[in-house]
Amino acid sequence: MTLTLLSATPSAPAPPRETPASDAAALIARLARPVPSTTPYAEVRFAHLLKTPQVQHGELDYGGAGKLGKRVEQPYRETMTIDAGSVQVQREGRSTRHFPLDRAPELQALLAGFSALLGGDAATLEKIFDIRFVDNAPKWTLTLTPHEAALRKHLREIVVDGSAAEPHCFSLHEIDGDASVMLLGTLAGSVLPRPPTRSALDAICQRVAP
Amino acid sequence: MSVAARRALLIGSWLALAALALFVRHALVIDSDLRRFMPPAANADQKLLLDEIGDGPASRLLLLAIGGASEETLAPLARGLALKLRADAHFARVLDGQADPAALDPALLPYRYLLSPTLDHAAFDSAFLRSELEQRIQDLSSPGADMLEELLPRDPSLEVLTLAQRWTPAKVPITRDGVWFSPRGEALLLAQTHAPGFDPAAQAAALDALQAGFDALPNSGSARLTISGPGYFSVLVGASTRAQAEWLSAFGTLGFVLLLLFAYRSAGVLMLAALPLLSGALLGIIILMLAFGSVHGITLAFGFTLLGVAQEYPIRVFSHRRADVGASASLRAVWPLLRLAIVSACIAYLAFFASGVTGLQQLAVFTISGLLVAGVVTRWLLPLVMPSHFRDAADMAGLESARAWLAALPRPRWLPWILLAFALALLWLAPTPLWQNDLSALTPVPPALLVREGELRDALGAPDVRYLLVLDAASADAVLDVSEKISPQLDKLIAAHAVDDAELPSRYLPSLATQHSRQARLPDRATLTAALDAALADLPFQPGLFAPFIDDVEKARALPALTPAEFAHSPFGARLEAMLVQRDGHWLGLATLTGVHEPAELAALATANPGQVRLLDLKGASESLIAQYRARILQALGVALLLLALTVAAAFRDLRRAWHVIAPMSLATLLVLAVLRISGVSLSLFHLVALTLAAGLGLHYALFFERKVENAAEGRRTLHATLVCVLSAVMVFGLLATSSLPVLRAIGLTVALGVAFHFCLSILMAQESTTPTVEK
């Protein structure tokens, strides 16, 4: 992944501070990924229906507004592509499944937010989420809380940790306590404890990426 | 009669006509259902078309697109319109993106194991459950996991989603915010009317309600509603035909007025000329209403055309008005001939009455009563209200030289035979099919609208309007059996791209037998618990998670199978109900088809299931009905011609004289046919009606030319009357012939040509060459 270090990194360490919305917008604009771009990821999902967290490795694709792809490589192979409001899931040994995104308004809003984040589109992102930006240079944290009732029913918040123009972790916290933490880029290769714990993941996300 | 009394009577007549017109306007019920105008069905397909399904469920669909604004504006408009239409009695159902097939009626939830085909090829054993559960773990890691979490404990194999997928049409438009959108960003809706597509009046009422509903929505001004579909086209084409006919008729009337003013040099004539035709038409409608209750729109259209003959009556009266005797006396001289024309036309139209087809009987009643009334008004009212001073048409300048020229024309006896041979040869050589049974070809839809229709139909995945699969069985459940039997056969055709999709009734509800066999495959509680435990072995699911699943399967084992009547209460029940029709102790299942590419393959499927499946070609069935209807008209016309000849012969008591009248009329009709056919025109009902009108006019020309006149002045009056008649008819119908609409062109060209031929042949064959001219 190309590091676009256009952001002027302050030389002196400053205390963590909540910054005005315009700074958040400026940061989000810097987050814009080139089209197309691909990044490896590791995802840990904590689901209350399951006794143990599930770990997944693969690659994420970003092909421009509304076009997302997720390729699972471990522990099974699956390709999911989202384009023009429709999801297509290809799982090894199974027939391809399609379903329109509008069947799941919360998923639709989530993916719209995700796409806006990857596109550096602060305006769209603000339509969907309340954005809190904590700048602890060179690290920063974006906390996104959904506006929409449909999305709020399921999703509490999304936390994006990163440094400079690079996001490192996407953490999804659901209302029912389920959570999913996605380690991106170089962090995708991090060694995880077995079974992975939330605190271990938090620690990885707080680390400044090399 | 004094001038004042005459004026009073004339004004009184007009007032009476106005009153009649007002009454007719209020009381007239126009029936536009084509079925009542058609002969009884002769085969099963026609019967289906006429009695049972109308012109097919697909032709009752209106395709709606709302565009011209942003998606944010369009989506609430589409939702608002759907809400309005669902509450509107004109519409049977409204489809939009809101119908969520995934939302299975909670009452039916335990039925999912009987409704879903999963158990046809799998059993709830540990191997099957293991593979499903492994997939669910993967599903739980996907972004849509939230949706599944609620469902999973009850439905680990996700039968609800299987059903949702099964019930979703193969092609659904993109849905955003619960609203369908076309690729060009218009919000889309489908509305099905109760009224059949071939009932333009009922369709017009539905369309008005639709437009009013849209206009009443907030913000509707900022967007544009586009309507498409067979019903809309029938209304649109009807309106544009009427508009063009009215426009051309207005010009025709203006020309006719000028012609009358020129021919009679009197403005008063105008007030008189319209009396017979108007009274005939109005009283004809009233008699028709008394006899039949409602009046068919086609009866009126055809009837008014045929009644055009009556416009000749006052012209004969005016032109034969002599300067030296009173109005009544001059009329008495031509009345026997006029009476013969009226009576023989009426007798001829009796043939229509005997046809046994309601539409044609209406036509006969209207035409006969109209002609009789017009005749009575001409004979007994016109002379009373005609001004005492009237210009004798015989005195018109130039008329004598024209008469003498015509009278002196050579009339070789062989010429008609040559013309006959020529006409027959042309008919033989005609390049196109004799008949045009596709009435819609006469009222074509503008190509741009058809392109738009194609786009919308494609975007909406709307069903084919021409083909329909009809399943026939003794009971509703037996229809579902047939539907299940042919389902794999249809799937093969879909895979082979012979057809894009087929919506079979068993897509929604399996037959009782299938439900029972699925039920029989559901394991009991102990077996299922053991299989599930084995499957769960080392999987990370929380213990006891799937208790609701075990309960549901147990419940499903004891359920009575779902019948169509019970299923009707579910969200998809209405869909199934519309597909199942009970008729005379048997049941029909109507399966709509989408994107028919190879009708022959579908026909083969039907042949492979004789007595159970039929591919109904709605276009073919309606064309065969039209052909049958036309055959009846042809028969009636044949009998009419015979009756006409007999009446004329009986009145003349002279076969030779009768021949002089009938022969030119018949030959002229044949010549018109020949000219039309050699120009590549295929004949339709409209041509037949126009030919009949022309023949009626031709009868007048022949009768009056054949008449022995005692002097040249009377000959001039005859020529004057005939010229006014011919010129007015050629002008009015010639204008129609210039129309861009084939139906108006058909009528206009046929009558104008006919009148010209009848006139020439009447002079050639009916008139004795060179009558002795002795000036009185």
pLDDT digits (tens, 9 = 90+) for B228-267: 988 898 888 888 888 888 888 888 889 999 999 988 888 8
The per-residue pLDDT for B771 is 46
> To 10 degrees, the CA torsion angle through B627, B629, B630, B633?
160
- Position B576 scores a pLDDT of 83
Q: Which residue of B has its CA nearest to A42?
A: B141
Amino acid B35: pLDDT: 67
Please report the sign of the dihedral spanned by the C-alpha atoms of residue B489, residue B490, residue B491, residue B497: positive
- Name the E strands within B171-229: 174-176, 179-181, 187-193, 224-228
Nearest chain A residue (CA) to B144: A107
Residue with the bigger pLDDT between A98 and B746: it is B746
* Gap between the Cα atoms of A129 and B586, Å rounded: 59
Task: Report the pLDDT value the prediction gives residue B570, as an integer from 0 to 100.
Answer: 74
Query: Mind telling me how many Å the CA of A46 is from chain B's nearest CA?
Result: 9
Q: How far is CA B97 from CA A83, B175, B189, B752, in A?
A: 18, 6, 8, 54
Task: Pick the residue from chain B with its C-alpha nearest to A176.
Answer: B146
Q: What's the rounded mean pLDDT across residues B182-200?
A: 85
Confidence of residue B212 (pLDDT cuts 50, 70, 90): very high
CB contacts, 8 Å: A102 with chain B: 97, 175-178
Q: Per mean pLDDT, which range of B282-286, B571-575, B749-753 is the poorest?
A: B571-575
Identify which of A49, A76, A103 has the shortest CB distance to residue B541: A49
Q: Please check whether residue B58 is in contact with residue B468, taking contact to mean a CB–CB distance below 8 angstroms.
A: yes
Cα–Cα distances (Å) from B181 to A35, A152, B99, B188, B645, in that order, read 27, 26, 14, 5, 65
Quickly state the pLDDT bin for B772 (edges 50, 70, 90): very low
Q: Provide the pLDDT confidence category of residue B109 given band limits of 50, 70 and 90.
A: confident
Contacts of residue A106 in chain B, CB cutoff 8 Å?
Answer: 146
Measuring CA to CA, which residue among B416, B448, B490, B522 is closest to residue B115?
B522
What phi and psi values does residue B737 have, to the nearest 5 degrees?
-65, -20
What are the residues facing A83 on neighbouring strands? A86
B150 touches chain A (CB under 8 A): no
What pLDDT shows up at residue B283? Answer: 94
Q: Which of B142, B147, B162 to mutate to probe the A interface, most A CBs <10 Å? A: B142
Q: Are B193 and B72 in contact (CB under 8 A)?
A: no
What single DSSP character describes residue B766?
A: I
B175 interfacial to chain A (CB closer than 8 Å): yes
Residue B517: enclosing H or E segment and its boundaries?
helix B512-521
Binning pLDDT at 50, 70 and 90, where does residue B684 land? confident
Question: Mutate which of A103, A124, A128 to test chain B, going by most B C-beta atoms within 10 A?
Answer: A103
pLDDT in tens, A152-199: 888 899 898 988 888 889 888 888 888 889 898 888 888 888 888 888
Give the pLDDT mean for B154-174: 82
Compute the average pLDDT of residues B175-204: 84
Cβ within 8 Å, pair B149-A47 = yes
Query: Sign of the C-alpha dihedral, residues B418, B422, B423, B425?
Result: positive
pLDDT at A18: 57
Structure confidence at residue B727 (pLDDT):
93
Q: Is there a contact between A111 and B174 if contact means CB atoms under 8 Å apart? A: no
Q: How far apart are CA A208 and CA B590, in angstroms?
A: 66
B343-353 pLDDT tens trace: 988 988 888 88
pLDDT at B154 over 60: yes
Residue range B549-564: mean pLDDT, rounded: 91
ipTM value, please give it. 0.79
Output the CA–CA distances (angstroms, integers) from residue B704 to B125, B397, B715, B758, B761, in the order listed: 97, 21, 9, 12, 13
The helix or strand, by DSSP H or E, that contains position B447, with its residue range, turns out to be: helix B447-460
B131 touches chain A (CB under 8 A): no
- Residue B776 has what pLDDT? 35
CA distance B734 to chain A (A): 57
Average pLDDT (B18-30) is: 88
Could you list the pLDDT tens digit for every one of the 210 residues in chain A? 333 333 333 444 444 555 555 678 888 888 888 888 888 999 998 888 888 898 989 998 888 877 888 898 988 888 888 876 778 888 877 777 777 666 666 677 777 778 888 888 888 888 888 888 888 878 889 899 988 777 788 889 989 898 888 888 988 888 888 888 989 888 888 888 888 888 888 888 887 654
B564 closest CA partner among B579, B545, B553, B585? B579
| Distance from the B536 Cα atom to the nearest Cα atom in chain A, whole angstroms | 12
β-bridge pairing B30-31 and B295-296: parallel
B508-527 average pLDDT score: 92
Q: What pLDDT is recorded for position B34?
A: 66
Instruction: Scan for tokens 């009274």, then name that residue.
Output: B279
Q: Taking CB atoms and an 8 Å cutoff, what residues of chain B touch A50?
A: 137, 140, 540-542
Contacts of B102 in chain A (CB under 8 A): 103
Question: Is the Cβ–Cβ distance between B252 and B731 less than 8 Å?
Answer: yes
How is B654-686 classified by DSSP, letter by letter?
-HHHHHHHHHHHHHHHHHHHHHHHHTTPPB-HH
Residue B324 has pLDDT above 60, yes or no: yes
> Which of A49, A80, A176 comes nearest B142 by C-beta?
A80
**Are A179 and A155 contacting, i.e. CB atoms less than 8 angstroms apart?**
no
Give how far B178 is from chain A: nearest CA, Å: 7
- Indicate if the pLDDT at residue B410 is higher than 60: yes
Please indicate whether, in this complex, the C-beta atoms of A103 and B145 are within 8 angstroms of each other.
Answer: no
Q: How far apart are CA B764 and CA B776, in angstroms?
A: 26
B46, B616 contact by CB (below 8 A): no
pLDDT at B45 over 60: yes
In angstroms, the CA B133 to CA B127 distance is: 10
Residue of chain B with shortest Cα separation from A73 = B138
B172 neighbourhood in chain A, CB within 8 Å: 100
Residues B79-112: b if buried by 16+ CB within 10 A, e if exposed:
bbbbebbeebebbebbbbbbbebbebeeebbbbb
B141 touching A (Cβ < 8 Å): yes
Put simply, the answer to whether A107 touches B175 (Cβ < 8 Å) is no
- How many CA atoms does the CB half-sphere of B88 hold within 13 Å? 25
Cβ-nearest to B141 among A56, A107, A174? A56
Chain B residues in contact with A107 (beta carbon < 8 A): 143-144, 146-147
CB contact (8 A) between residue B176 and residue A85:
yes
Residues 6+ apart with CB under 8 A from B582: B476, B588
Which DSSP category does B600 fall into?
H
Please answer yes or no on whether B143 and A45 come within 8 Å at the CB atom: no
Q: Give me the pLDDT at residue B1, please.
A: 64
Across the interface, whether the CB atoms of B146 and A174 are under 8 A apart is answered yes
Tell me the nearest-neighbour CA distance from A109 into chain B, angstroms.
Answer: 11
Residue B571, classed as helix, strand or coil, is: coil
CB B546 within 8 A of CB B158: no
Among B72, B138, B168, pick the best mutation site for testing chain A contact (most A Cβ within 10 A). Answer: B138
- In this complex, do B145 and A45 lie within 8 Å of one another by their Cβ atoms? yes
CA angle B651, B657, B658 (to 5 degrees): 55
Residues of chain A positioned with their CB less than 8 A from the CB of B174: 84-86, 100
**Residue A55 bridge partners (DSSP):** A44
Give the minimum alpha-carbon distance from A94 to chain B in angstroms, rounded to a whole number. Answer: 10
| Contacts of A45 by beta carbon, 8 Å cutoff, 6+ apart | A53, A54, A55, A56, A178, A179, A180, B140, B141, B145
Would you state the pLDDT for residue B493? 92
B97 in A contact zone (CB under 8 Å): yes
Backbone angles phi, psi at B742, to 5 degrees: -55, -35
Q: For residues B274 and B592, what is the distance between their CA atoms, to the nearest angstrom? A: 52
Q: Tell which of A50, A52, A151 to mutate to test the B interface (max B CBs under 10 Å).
A: A50
Nearest by Cα to B621 from B501, B444, B470: B470
Residue A139, both tokens: 């690290």
Model confidence at B279: pLDDT above 90: yes
Count Cβ–Cβ pairs < 8 Å, chain A vs chain B: 76
d(CA B703, CA B659): 11
- Output DSSP code: residue A103: G
Q: What is the C-alpha separation between A117 and A165, in angstroms, rounded?
A: 12
- CB < 8 Å to A70, chain B: 142-143
How close does chain A come to B175, measured CA to CA in Å? 6
Give the residue from B765, B746, B522 showing the smallest Cα distance to B659: B765
Tally of CB atoms within 10 A around A54: 19
Whole-angstrom CA distances from A28 to A155, A167, B168 are: 21, 10, 39
Contacts of B289 by beta carbon, 8 Å cutoff, 6+ apart: B24, B27, B28, B29, B295
For residues B618 and B47, what is the distance between their CA atoms, to the nearest angstrom? 11
Q: What is the pLDDT of residue B22?
A: 92
Residues from A in contact with B at Cβ < 8 Å: 43, 45, 47-52, 54, 56, 70, 72, 76, 78, 80, 84-87, 89, 91, 94, 100, 102-104, 106-107, 110-111, 154, 174, 176, 178, 180
Backbone phi, then psi, for B670, in 5-degree steps? -65, -40
B142 and A CB contact within 8 Å: yes
**Average pLDDT in the B19-35 region?**
82
Nearest-CA distance from A52 to chain B in Å? 6
* Out of B175, B178, B540, closest to residue A50 by CB: B540
What was the pLDDT predicted at B205? 92
Q: Closest Cα of chain B to A18: distance in Å?
A: 30
